[in-house]
């Protein structure tokens, strides 16, 4: 009986381990790590981007439109400083609240609304970031990409320049530079 009990315990332990190591569990963990990395990259985007002098007295306000794809991983940044500016996180209902934002993260579920958002942002010194495919080529400034299970970055030099922003070389070296498509 003791042998049967030990075998049952071993089988149960293997089943539990298999459940926790299933692809779904692994994908969730990878997703959490990805969100943490992207949140850290947003901090670096703030750190290595320069805004026009009139923006210098404003805080480093990170705005999210379309929801928070970071599952709260941005919250530890709130209250910290970057380039002597206090970081604040805001969730926006629409683009009307974008005034004052230093960085606007456009959730992938806003992809269909991007052309209208882009028009509303024209002439504003707001760094735009997203992870939907084609964001940078379609006038967004920084796009998160995936390549061989690695997070990459595309930077649209034309869009950054049009917003009177400057991205430091140390950030440009880590990114693929792209230009807006001819349709813009």
| pLDDT for 9 beyond 60 | no
Report residue 105 as tokens. Answer: 């993260």
Are the CB atoms for 84 and 50 separated by under 8 Å? no
Q: What is the pLDDT of residue 34?
A: 87
Structure confidence by residue, pLDDT tens digits, 27-71: 454 555 888 899 999 999 999 999 998 877 788 999 999 999 988
Report residue 62 as tokens. Answer: 């990170």
What global pTM score does this model have? Answer: 0.80
Q: What percent of the chain has pLDDT over 70?
A: 80
Q: What is the pLDDT of residue 58?
A: 83
Q: How does the average pLDDT of the chain come out, rounded?
A: 82
Residues 6+ apart with CB under 8 A from 164: 51, 52, 125
Residue 25 and residue 164: Cα distance in Å, rounded? Answer: 43
Are the CB atoms for 102 and 55 separated by under 8 Å? yes
Q: b/e map of 139-166 (b: 16 or more CB within 10 Å)?
A: bbbbbbeeeeeeeebbbbbbbbebbebe
The SS3 assignment for 69 reads coil
Are the CB atoms for 73 and 39 separated by under 8 Å? yes
| pLDDT for 18 beyond 60 | no
| pLDDT for 3 beyond 80 | no
Report the candidate in 180, 64, 163 with the shortest Cα–Cα distance to residue 115: 180
Question: Tokens 């381990």 appear where?
Answer: 17
Residue-range domains of the chain with CATH: 2-178 (3.40.50.2300)
Please provide the DSSP assignment of 127-140 as one string.
EEEE-STTTTTTT-
Measured at the alpha carbon of residue 144, what is the angle toward residues 169 and 36, in degrees to the nearest 5? 100
């Amino acid at each position: 009986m003791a042998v049967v009990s030990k075998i049952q315990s071993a089988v149960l332990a293997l089943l539990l381990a298999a459940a926790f190591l299933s692809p779904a569990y692994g994908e969730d963990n990878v997703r959490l790590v990805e969100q943490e990395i992207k949140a850290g990259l947003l901090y670096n985007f703030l750190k290595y981007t320069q805004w026009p002098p009139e923006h210098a007295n404003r805080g480093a306000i990170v705005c999210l439109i379309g929801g928070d794809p970071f599952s709260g991983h941005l919250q530890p940044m709130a209250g910290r400083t970057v380039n002597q500016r206090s970081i604040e996180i805001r969730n926006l209902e629409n683009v009307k609240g974008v005034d004052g934002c230093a960085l606007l993260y456009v959730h992938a579920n806003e992809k269909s609304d991007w052309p209208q958002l882009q028009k509303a942002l024209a002439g504003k010194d707001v760094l735009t970031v997203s992870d939907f495919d084609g964001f940078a080529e379609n006038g967004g400034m920084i796009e998160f990409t995936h390549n061989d299970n690695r997070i990459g970055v595309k930077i649209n030099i034309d869009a950054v320049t049009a917003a009177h922003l400057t991205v430091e070389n140390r950030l440009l070296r880590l990114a693929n530079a792209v230009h807006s498509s001819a349709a813009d």
